[in-house]
Chain A
Amino acid sequence: MQDLKEIQTKIYPPMVEGDHTFGTVSDKIGDLALKKRTPFLWYVGFGISFLVLQLLMMSVTTLVAKGIGIWGNNQPVGWAFDIINFVWWIGIGHAGTLISAILLLLNQKWRTSINRFAEAMTLFAVACAAMFPLLHTGRPWLAAYWLFPIPNSMGIWPQFRSPLIWDVFAVSTYATISLLFWYVGLIPDFATLRDRAKNKFFKFIYAVLSWGWRGSARHWHRYEIAYLLLAGISTPLVLSVHSIVSFDFAVSQLPGWHATIFPPYFVAGAIFAGFAMVLILCIPLRVWFNMKDMITNTHLVYMGKVMLATGLIVVYGYAMEAYFAWYSASLYEWFMMKNRMFGGPYWWSYWLLIICNGASIQLLWFKRFRESPFWLFIISIVVSIGMWLERFVIIVTSLNRDFLPSSWAMYSPTVWDWSMFIGTIGLFFTLLFLFVRFLPIISIFEVRTLLPDANVHGHHQDFEENVVQVEETYDRTDPPNN
């Protein structure tokens, strides 16, 4: 009997630890948003982020006033930090969609306590990403009809055969669906907060946001359908958005960009980077907010495994890029690859990338590192840097050696390149701090469904007994708390 239980918990580790009931879950998560006193550390974190956000405001103002000449990119490196940062941010968002949509459809219970803030992370990352294509036009107020096919007095449309316009559609669809998905998931929780809020003002806000949710059976029925539909719509987006981002490069004829491996390799890279960011955020969060019982070590281990798997696909992508360059027998491709890896001025960035994305994740094969939040945190940071370097390597090393040696030139970022990039990190964390203060960072009602109370078989209230009961009655492969 005892053995069975142990095996059971080993195969299906509980996703909520401790003695929680419906009420305590609502208390614990809801109170984070509703409590009167804001913790001092929140002010510190928010204050720093907000200051860094001002760096962004300053950079954008200067950019609009003076034009994109303040950046370091110039022929032949026409794309640099603006596109590197765009791809980096948009990639980070992908973990949120994967967690919320694909893992939902695959019935993975462990998504439940991380999906809410992973989705928030997606939204904030997309907001940061979207700034770059908008601002790299230099005149963002005109970008509306440069980017979108809005009827205009010029009598022309954007070039529909260009992946750049596909990108606009992909990213704006992605942002819309992610926002809807996040919001729909929040509605029942807004209702919980509305019912619990003491402050009239917040009660009003939460009441507006919850759209009169009463939690009736009909509400839940419609909610479930809507949520499932949105998950269905989001699922192809996980694959399509970054595929299309990769087309920005792959459709061009440039050596180093023109490769068929790009879409799958970009998608894997996006999920890889996204999970790294989720880990970077949730490892401190679960400590500061005392949420270790809801974001358990098991969650971290699972995310570590996803990172290892997607990371290996990315490493395979690097290997194939080099192989294709050689196998293509194209002089230009092979020169580009040699230049990128050995001879060129940016060779160090390539090997730094291999160390960050290829070597560091090998630690995750070992249980010791996989199960240590500290090491997971370190590896995630290294991977985030690595994924940024990946875009740097792809963009800058491919462009800086043009077909014509007379056009060769070096690229180096200016102060404004850096300030804008760092500024978007400020924006990201400012939004994140606001989110953790005013919204439930974990889905209250979904975590409740993980509790034994939500899966009552017969009269057994006790989880452990329940497990045994299930064990005796059903086939072993049946998850006990399903």
Chain B
Amino acid sequence: MAQFFQKGANNIARITMIMGVVVAGLAFFAYTQFSRSSYITGQYVELQQPVQFSHRHHVGDDGIDCRYCHTTVETTASAGMPPTQTCMNCHSEIWADSPYLEPVRASFRENKPIEWERVHDLPEYAYFNHSIHVAKGVGCSTCHGEIDNMAAVSQENTLQMEWCLSCHREPEKFIRPKSEIYNMQWQDNDITAEERLKLKEDYRIRSRDMLTSCSICHR
């Protein structure tokens, strides 16, 4: 019986097998990259806000403390978005006629809150509380980056679960003295590892097992 395929078909078979492995490997690599890309996570993506508010100017240049606007960061789950009245504390006096601030004045006149675009959007199934993180020595810039240098705020981190866990598994690498919580220039190695371990004890941060248990975040 004559062979159905020419001898060259052997090469096709071999190439198919090799390419199968190569393509599968490439596809897997693409998957790992894509699933962590800003397209998926929104990291570094700047959003168009209703007012061109600059954290760089207010925090960096003017030196306003985070808590002046985000008033509930030490006491509740949400850090709190300031009401328009907070803006008007100053802007009824300075830059009071600036066309940039017209949406703020409109909001104040009509008593309608400004609808900011949410930058850090955690899924509903993840429970997050600002106050406990602040109370245990996690500074703003650890998660939010150098806000004082951001004209438009964007997500500094992926907010993916592996990112949360990277700290929950070893919080002693990221904590700082409570006096430095709102210090935007703080670096993790400004104090030694031993000092951080000591802080972990002082704050009574719970064990790794406790911090990584499912129901800590998924309640």
Contact = CB atoms under 8 A, between A and B. Distances in A.
Nearest to A211: B13
B9 A155 contact: no
A204 B161 CA distance: 50
B206 interface: no
Contacts of A214: 3
B76 to A, nearest CB: 27
B3 A212 contact: yes
A156 B165 contact: yes
Given A156-B165, A212-B9, A151 B32 contact: yes
B179 interface: no
A211 B4 CA distance: 10
B160 interface: yes
A205 to B, nearest CB: 10
A152 B165 CA distance: 13
A138 to B, nearest CB: 14
Q: Is the interface of B mostly helix, strand, loop or mixed?
A: helix
B125 to A, nearest CB: 12
A212 B5 contact: yes
Interface string B158-178: 101111111000000000000
Given A153-B162, A156-B165, A195 B1 contact: yes
Given A152-B35, A153-B36, A212-B10, A204 B4 contact: yes
A155 B161 contact: yes
A203 B36 CA distance: 47
Interface string B16-50: 00000000000000001001100000000000000
A94 interface: no
Contacts of A212: 3, 5, 9-10, 13
A204 B166 CA distance: 55
B15 to A, nearest CB: 15
Nearest to A207: B4
A154 interface: yes
A154 B165 CA distance: 8
A154 B160 contact: yes
Contacts of A299: none
B157 to A, nearest CB: 12
Interface string A453-465: 0000000000000
B191 to A, nearest CB: 26
A194 interface: yes
Contacts of B166: 155
Interface string A115-152: 00000000000000000000000000000000000011
A153 B1 contact: no
A203 B165 CA distance: 57
Contacts of B160: 153-155
Q: Is the interface of A mostly helix, strand, loop or mixed?
A: loop
The number of chain B residues touching the other chain, given as a range, is 10 to 19
A155 B165 contact: yes
Contacts of A203: 4
A155 B162 contact: yes
A154 B10 contact: no
Nearest to B168: A155
B81 to A, nearest CB: 28
Interface in B114-172: 158, 160-166
Contacts of A195: 1
Contacts of B161: 153-156
A32 B162 CA distance: 56
A218 to B, nearest CB: 15
B4 A194 contact: yes
A195 B9 CA distance: 17
A154 B4 contact: no
B35 A153 contact: yes
Nearest to B7: A212
A195 B10 CA distance: 19
B163 to A, nearest CB: 8
Contacts of A204: 4
B38 to A, nearest CB: 13
Nearest to B162: A155
Contacts of A194: 4
B200 to A, nearest CB: 21
Nearest to B214: A156
Interface in A203-262: 203-204, 207, 211-212, 214
Given A151-B32, A152-B35, A153-B36, A207 B5 contact: yes
Contacts of B5: 207, 212
Nearest to A196: B1
A211 B14 CA distance: 11
B162 A154 contact: yes
A434 to B, nearest CB: 23
Contacts of B9: 212
A1 to B, nearest CB: 43
A403 to B, nearest CB: 21
A351 to B, nearest CB: 41
A204 B35 CA distance: 41
A211 B166 CA distance: 49
Nearest to B4: A207
A207 B5 CA distance: 8
Interface string A153-172: 11110000000000000000
A154 B36 CA distance: 10
Contacts of B36: 153
Nearest to B2: A195
B57 to A, nearest CB: 34
Contacts of B35: 152-153
A151 B9 CA distance: 36
Interface string B36-73: 10000000000000000000000000000000000000
Contacts of A153: 35-36, 158, 160-162
Q: Give 4 closest A-B pairs by Cβ, nearest first.
A: A155-B162, A207-B4, A154-B161, A155-B165
17 contacts: A152-B162, A153-B35, A153-B158, A154-B161, A154-B165, A155-B162, A155-B163, A155-B164, A155-B165, A155-B166, A156-B162, A156-B165, A203-B4, A207-B4, A212-B5, A212-B9, A214-B3
Given A207-B5, A212-B5, 14 more contacts: A153-B35, A153-B158, A153-B162, A154-B160, A154-B165, A155-B160, A155-B161, A155-B165, A156-B161, A156-B162, A156-B165, A195-B1, A211-B13, A212-B10
